[in-house]
Every structure is written in structure tokens, then in C-alpha cells.
Amino acid sequence: EITRRQGNAESTINFILVNQILYNSFEHMPIEENKEKIYLSDHCMLEVTFKIDTVESKSKDEYTK
């Protein structure tokens, strides 16, 4: 998919840099070619989704013991 448009020129750079933990959690990376969300740049937005488990935080009482 196209990630940058300037006049008639188009280019494609669809990669992101992540560490090994995020790489293993990667789900998908759609490219917003229509520029409906971000329209002030000649670059198209890359939106990355990761599957990350959450951990319940401790209550305030557990920290003060």
C-alpha cells in the first residue's frame, strides 16, 4: 500500500521498529491511504495493533502494608 504521496510521486515504506516482545504481540498494521484521519501531511498513517495482556494493579492498601 502507498504510505506517502506528494504530487504525482508515490512511495511505500510500511515497517515499524519494535523489540522482540512487541514483535511477538503484533496483530496487524493497516495503512490509512485515504487520509481521513490525518490529512495535514504527505505521509499516510500507519496504525499498529498489538495483543497485550493486562495485569491488574494492586490496591492502595497492598502498597501501604
For residues 14-27, average pLDDT: 89
DSSP letter assigned to residue 43: B
For the segment 34-62, the average pLDDT, to the nearest whole number, is: 75
Q: What is the pTM of this model?
A: 0.52
Q: How far is residue 10's CA from residue 2's CA, in Å, rounded to a whole number? A: 7
Separation of alpha carbons 29 and 58, rounded Å: 33
Does 1 have pLDDT greater than 90?
A: no
Judge whether residue 17 has pLDDT over 80: yes
- Other Cβ atoms closer than 10 A to 50: 14
pLDDT of residue 27: 93
Contact 12, 36 (CB under 8 A): no
